Amino acid sequence: MKKFIVEKGLVLPLDRANVDTDFIIPKQFLKSIKRSGFGVNLFDEHRYLDKGEPDSDNSQRPINPDFVLNQPRYQGCSVLLGRDNFGCGSSREHAPWALDDYGFRVIIAPSYADIFFNNCFKNGLLPIVLERAAVDQLFQEVESTEGYELEIDLASQTISKPDGSTLEFTVDEFRKHCLLHGLDDIGITLEDATEIQAFEAQWRAASPWYFTTPETS
């Protein structure tokens, strides 16, 4: 998993509450478990004018010019600004995979669906919760200022705005540790690899019969 230290990026305003995981990545794209290749189908039903299929040549599909992600001023964005209950619906982990594969590293919203919120941390995304008034202000600033960027510093838990002001956010210390060091569930386990190997060696020595393969006749 990628480490998250500081992210400075263009902000995409997705001004819609209750964005569910099917909105983020439609169900027909859930056949793969590779964690990559989903970025081209992020927000597929709103990003394109036709119905997407897993084997479609996305470069040949008609683009919806009215959808915010397709607007020229937001190309290259890495910070997503959302509304209440972001990531609701099914528990599909493909939703954070698609966001990450597209290039997003941060989501800012007043609230999230619990499973989606947890899945973000497990996949290197930082979901930040801010008060609704602060999110409203950010929407106003983003939409009135082309090229609006935010700098998110995880260590200091601050968001730096273009005018020099900052916003603070909270994050669970364990999740913060995992993001700062790029640790997913497997990485966390491997932090104790030496102790695990020592335990296995001791167990093997104390119970050799457990590791013996029975002879077959």
Q: How far apart are CA 96 and CA 104, in angstroms?
A: 9
| Residue pLDDT, tens place only, 167-182 | 999 999 999 999 999 9
Its pTM stands at 0.87
What separation in angstroms does the CA of 29 have from each of 25, 37, 116, 151, 194?
Answer: 7, 10, 17, 32, 39
Q: Which amino acid is at 9?
A: G
Q: Does pLDDT of 2 surpass 80?
A: yes
| Residue pLDDT, tens place only, 109-149 | 999 999 999 999 999 999 999 999 999 999 999 999 999 99
pLDDT score recorded for residue 56: 87
Helices (H) and strands (E) in the chain, counts: 8, 7
Q: How far apart are CA 127 and CA 107, in angstroms?
A: 5
| Residue pLDDT, tens place only, 188-200 | 766 666 777 878 8
pLDDT score recorded for residue 189: 67
| Domain residue spans of the chain | 6-181, 183-212
pLDDT score recorded for residue 36: 85
Give the single-character DSSP code of 180: H
| Residue pLDDT, tens place only, 42-88 | 999 999 999 999 888 999 999 999 999 999 999 999 999 999 999 99
Task: List the CATH code of the domain at 6-181.
Answer: 3.20.19.10
pLDDT score recorded for residue 216: 45
Taking Cα atoms as reference points, which of 50, 44, 60, 59 lies closest to residue 94? 44
Residues 6+ apart with CB under 8 A from 84: 17, 18, 109, 110, 111, 132
